[in-house]
Structure 1
Amino acid sequence: MIDLLVTGGTLVDGTGTAPRRADVAVEDGRVTEIGDLAGRSAVHAIDVSGHVVAPGFVDVHTHSDLTLLSSPEAHSAVQQGVTTVVVGNCGLGVTPVGDSSHRAGTVRGGDAALQDHLDALRKAVGYLDLDPSVRWTWTDLPGYLAALDTARPAVNVAVLVAHTPLRAAAVGFEDRPADAAALDRMRGMLADALAAGAAGVSTGLVYAPVCYAREDELEVLGRTAAAYGRLFAWHVRDYADGLLDSVRQALRVAAATGCRTQISHLVAVGRRNHGSVARALELIDAARAEGLDVAFDIYPYLAGNAPLSQLLPAWAQEGGDEAMRARLTERAVRTRIRDEWRDLPNSWDDIAVDGRSVTDLAAAAGTDPVDVALDLVAEHGNGVQMVAGGRSERDLLDALTHPAAVIGSDGQALDPGGATGRGTPHPRSYGAYPRLFSEYVRKGRLGLAEAVRMCTSAAAERAGIAGRGVLRAGAAADIVVFDPARIADRATFAAPQRYPDGIRAVVVGGRAVVEDGVHRGARDGAGGPGEVLRIR
């Protein structure tokens, strides 16, 4: 007897081919048959007449490295149809910890130097760290993957090795170039992780200490990724006035190393830079015409989310989180930053913390926006999140309709009832994929089959994840069922922790995780069916 039978729906298989009427049969976590399966019996049958049946969405760009250990149910991700996530983006990640002498094993209380390093690294990636109760005991990628295995997440997980822990282990948190020995250590640690199943490597050239990396260091990462046929994902050095030069740098490294290259969340920040995305796409088109394997991801919002400390000049971030915070209490330092901030691409009206603009926070405190921003970072370090607007709808549409685009939420798997559900996160964590279909497909700006492809097979291919993102016999049974007339995001910037409308069912590994808005894993207490993916 069939384990799961999904009947009556319109199949959009993820390849970009036209929708068609078909039923889907699942056994042992795999799709076994697709076609007219009327009259067949199943342990669990779902009639989805009037709905689209598609592969589960593959979120190629997330920051769920630690939130999946806090809440493996992955509520905000799976409720919007995501069945596979890629973590470790933007150079922000949690492995490896320590230098080459600590590549294996776990953090033990007796190793004070390693514990100090872990503490400094955890503060450097505070953007990821929403639940202080999550214990961080691994030192290498196999240890982190084992922690994910133990957590039994509801979604499949692939991991990029992040540049921040690599550089911190080999160079430290200071502003200095990596010498030959440090480059060799980074190469070795990255190669070990890629051999253990990492999907690739990511950099984030606005975040300390990665912002101090020279191009030779980036080429080492690119050559190592290329040697394993893995992805190199780039949060480029500047998305504002220097966007085009930053894209050119990523393309230079791609040409020099031959690595498969992904430019993360391709946007232009600041109203004076509207139109820059089209010029960046011209650079990408030229590189692709020359044979480089270059693409990018994007999410369907006109505001982004990042650590507030990202706005600081690189010199102010040197030495790690504690040194940065102490530095921001010095009057001369604050005066110098104020000077450098006179020409920010966004106004303080466009930048919000906890749902209120920095301008409003300053007015309420009887001070000015610069002091508010510096005080927040001085008190809370890299954990302060901002939402920054001022983007262009034209830029976004240019990106979404480009053939090299895939969808990545840039969000986190959050639990609105748990430790990760506090505050006012960016609504993309709850609604990125439904928003794409309501705002761009239903309004005729994207075709249904193409939008599904961008969310599924195209994203899986960029991450090097085989067997996901398509519905065909033999493929993993990761499925989302949605009503094309009703699917829509309900999360807003003012009230972000709302699940979307129109998602009928979400299936991971053949198991229905969400049905009619109910997370079945939360109800029956069983561990999630997600697989921790080791890329080979």
Structure 2
Amino acid sequence: MLDLIIKNGKIVDGTGNPWLAGDVGIQQGAIVAVGQLSQEAHRTIDAHGQVIAPGFIDGHCHSDLMILDYPNSEIKLQQGVTTEVVGNCGLAPAPFFPETASLLQTYVEPILGKTSWEWPWNTVEQYMQTVAKASISENIATYVAHGALRIAVMGFANRPATREELDRMKGLLEEGLRAGAIGFSIGLLYAPGSYTSREEIAELCSVLPQYNGLFSTHIRGEGNNLIPSIKEVIWIAEKTGVSLHISHLKAAGKANWGKILEALELVEEARGRGMDVTVDVYPYNAGSTMLTTVLPPWVLEGGIECTLDAFRDPQMRRRVREELGSEQKDWDNLVYSTGWSSVIISSVQTAANRHLEGKHIEEISELRGQHPVDCVMDLLIEEGGKISIVYFHMSDTDVKEVIRYEKSLIASDSLHCETGKPHPRLYGSFPRIFAKYVREEKTLSLEQAVRKMTSFPVQRFKLGKRGLIVPGYIADIVVFDPDTISDTATYQDPRQYPTGISQVIVNGEITLANGQHTQARPGAFIPAQHQCCNH
């Protein structure tokens, strides 16, 4: 007798092939039979009129600490997500050493969130062990993050690494890869990643090939510097022979809309030369990050605390105002092209400023009677540098082009946000693809959309036997109504679960039943699997 049968569904198996009518049998956490099944089971789910698909993989998110703070993972399970990949954009909570602990925590808190408990790890491996021992409702895999490595070894020093520092970073990277990390991520837009030359990155990437590790990058510039930034990471990957994944590909700033086609051509040209290059995309025309990202990169030398102290210097403030008020060649000054009205405060730390959440910088500066740049610096001082933002700087047409692109996979890039108004992608990314880009705009077929969320990311991130409805594969499964699945989260009211998803199964256990969390926590840490079936 089987543990569970899901009957009478439209099986979209993750390959991209047309759906087929049938049942799925599950035993001891694995799919054991697919087709018209006559076996009996302890439990039966009738999926009449619904799709049976592999559980969705969120291949780019920032739930590194959220998974430990909120182990039920209901925000993601309600979207049909059964596995998240963390450690993205060079941002991670490990390695975490006492001498640089405060630097790392203030660096990652606007993205990963602030915990009320002491981090019990030092190394990346110990972080993995902490997740593995936790009782969680979904699966987790991770990168080794460059920003955390560099901070551990050299803080926020704006200079090239010495040979000794490079060797220490390479050693820490190798330790993480050996322990099961899927690869190496870097955020070249963010200090200290922005302080790192392509040659230094290539030296670090030289560790990856022996572990078949993936090089994942938030590129240096997504606005005026989009094209040279893509060329830079392709150069690094080509020089070192590593596989390259470009995170949340976009063309930011109205002057750059349309350049996404040239960006995709660069990816195709690289693939034509035999390089393994892919991208991911989220289905919104606004991004989300930390407010410090809009500042000139040099401002963050020495870390957040040094920056906040420097903001009290009138000469420093004058220089920041001047640079943000003009176009820059060495870094993307996106607020110059998009304006301060495109930068929305999504989360602050203090109750005194909570009323500013949901307002844009131009509006806040008018309320305060300040220049927008002075307003930004003062807000950062008041909030200890820990302010998250939503940033409207993309074209819907460009977003659609990347979603349509065959070598793109879907991810949320969601940030942990306890207070305020998080970007709605935290609650709605995956259902939105089906509602907007499958049903409404017909950018993708149902089967193409499922592939971009399942077998493609599993293959890309080396997650083993997941992502397909095939006998012998792990039973991570979502059941949803293709006619009603939809996001309901909005920018003004983002904390809303989607509709149309009825059942979610993780490692063979029902974690969401009829839209309600069952309190089951069958999730696991997934170490990189270097052998992945190619269907």
Whether 1:500 aligns to 2:492 is no
Which residue in 1 is equivalent to 2:230? Answer: 247
397-406 vs 360-369, greater mean Cα deviation: 360-369
> How far apart, in 2, do the equivalents of 1:399 and 1:381 lie?
36
Whether 1:13 aligns to 2:22 is no
**Segments ≥4 residues shifted beyond 6 Å:** none
Whether 1:173 aligns to 2:165 is no
Structure 1 residues 132 and 97: CA distance shift in structure 2, 3 A: closer
Which residue in 1 is equivalent to 2:528? Answer: 535
Q: Deviations over 1:316-363 (max 9, x none)?
A: 000011111111222111111111111423211111002111111122
The one-letter code matched in structure 2 to 1:477 is A
The one-letter code matched in structure 2 to 1:49 is H
Which residue in 2 is equivalent to 1:63? Answer: 62
TM-score (norm 2): 0.93
> How far apart, in 2, do the equivalents of 1:147 and 1:455 lie?
27
Which residue in 2 is equivalent to 1:48? Answer: 47
Give the secondary structure class of the aligned counterpart of 1:8.
strand
> How far apart, in 1, do the equivalents of 2:426 and 2:117 lie?
20
> How far apart, in 1, do the equivalents of 2:67 and 2:118 lie?
12
Structure 2 residues not aligned, in runs of 5+? 327-335, 346-356, 530-535
1:482-501 correspondence runs (5 A)? 482-501=480-499
Give the secondary structure class of the aligned counterpart of 1:85.
strand
2:421 to 413, 419, 424: 424
Q: Deviations over 1:222-274 (max 9, x none)?
A: 22122210111000001111010100001000110111110000001111110
303-312 vs 360-369, greater mean Cα deviation: 360-369
> How far apart, in 2, do the equivalents of 1:257 and 1:386 lie?
35
1:222 to 186, 205, 224: 205
Whether 1:337 aligns to 2:320 is yes
74-83 vs 360-369, greater mean Cα deviation: 360-369
Instruction: Note if contact 1:121-1:165 (Cα within 8 Å) is conserved in structure 2.
Output: yes
Give the secondary structure class of the aligned counterpart of 2:53.
strand
> How far apart, in 1, do the equivalents of 2:168 and 2:134 lie?
30
Structure 1 residues 509 and 355: CA distance shift in structure 2, 3 A: same
Which residue in 2 is equivalent to 1:370? Answer: 373
The one-letter code matched in structure 1 to 2:380 is V
> How far apart, in 2, do the equivalents of 1:41 and 1:375 lie?
65
Which residue in 2 is equivalent to 1:111? Answer: none
1:350 to 324, 342, 345: 342
Instruction: Note if contact 2:246-2:279 (Cα within 8 Å) is conserved in structure 1.
Output: yes
1:157-196 correspondence runs (5 A)? 157-196=140-179
2:460 to 436, 459, 462: 462
> How far apart, in 2, do the equivalents of 1:261 and 1:170 lie?
25
Instruction: Note if contact 1:58-1:82 (Cα within 8 Å) is conserved in structure 2.
Output: yes
TM-score (norm 1): 0.93
The one-letter code matched in structure 1 to 2:422 is P
The one-letter code matched in structure 2 to 1:242 is N
Give the secondary structure class of the aligned counterpart of 1:315.
helix
Structure 1 residues 382 and 45: CA distance shift in structure 2, 3 A: farther
> How far apart, in 2, do the equivalents of 1:173 and 1:247 lie?
24
Which residue in 2 is equivalent to 1:106? Answer: none
> How far apart, in 2, do the equivalents of 1:399 and 1:340 lie?
31
Identity %: 38
> How far apart, in 2, do the equivalents of 1:350 and 1:80 lie?
27
Give the secondary structure class of the aligned counterpart of 1:203.
strand
The one-letter code matched in structure 1 to 2:91 is L
Whether 1:315 aligns to 2:313 is no
> How far apart, in 2, do the equivalents of 1:125 and 1:217 lie?
22
Instruction: Note if contact 1:70-1:131 (Cα within 8 Å) is conserved in structure 2.
Output: no
Cα deviation for residue 220 of structure 1 reads 1.9
Which residue in 2 is equivalent to 1:433? Answer: 430
> How far apart, in 1, do the equivalents of 2:501 and 2:368 lie?
43
> How far apart, in 1, do the equivalents of 2:267 and 2:186 lie?
18
Give the secondary structure class of the aligned counterpart of 1:436.
helix
Counting matched residue pairs gives 508
Cα deviation for residue 150 of structure 1 reads 2.8
Whether 1:303 aligns to 2:286 is yes
1:52-451 correspondence runs (5 A)? 52-98=51-97, 114=98, 116-343=99-326, 344-353=336-345, 354-412=357-415, 421-443=418-440, 444-451=442-449
Cα deviation for residue 381 of structure 1 reads 4.1
Q: Deviations over 1:92-119 (max 9, x none)?
A: 0111223xxxxxxxxxxxxxxx2x4112
> How far apart, in 2, do the equivalents of 1:311 and 1:178 lie?
25
> How far apart, in 2, do the equivalents of 1:44 and 1:135 lie?
41
Instruction: Note if contact 1:69-1:134 (Cα within 8 Å) is conserved in structure 2.
Output: no
> How far apart, in 2, do the equivalents of 1:285 and 1:382 lie?
39
Cα deviation for residue 382 of structure 1 reads 4.4
> How far apart, in 2, do the equivalents of 1:21 and 1:117 lie?
56
Give the secondary structure class of the aligned counterpart of 1:442.
helix
Q: Deviations over 1:280-302 (max 9, x none)?
A: 00111100000000000000000
> How far apart, in 1, do the equivalents of 2:477 and 2:371 lie?
50
Which residue in 2 is equivalent to 1:23? Answer: 23
Q: Deviations over 1:113-164 (max 9, x none)?
A: x2x4112211111223424313212011221112112322111100100001
Give the secondary structure class of the aligned counterpart of 2:268.
helix
> How far apart, in 1, do the equivalents of 2:151 and 2:393 lie?
33
Aligned-residue CA RMSD (Å): 1.3
Q: Deviations over 1:195-231 (max 9, x none)?
A: 1100111000121212111112210222212221011
Give the secondary structure class of the aligned counterpart of 1:44.
strand
Instruction: Note if contact 2:111-2:289 (Cα within 8 Å) is conserved in structure 1.
Output: no
Give the secondary structure class of the aligned counterpart of 1:441.
helix
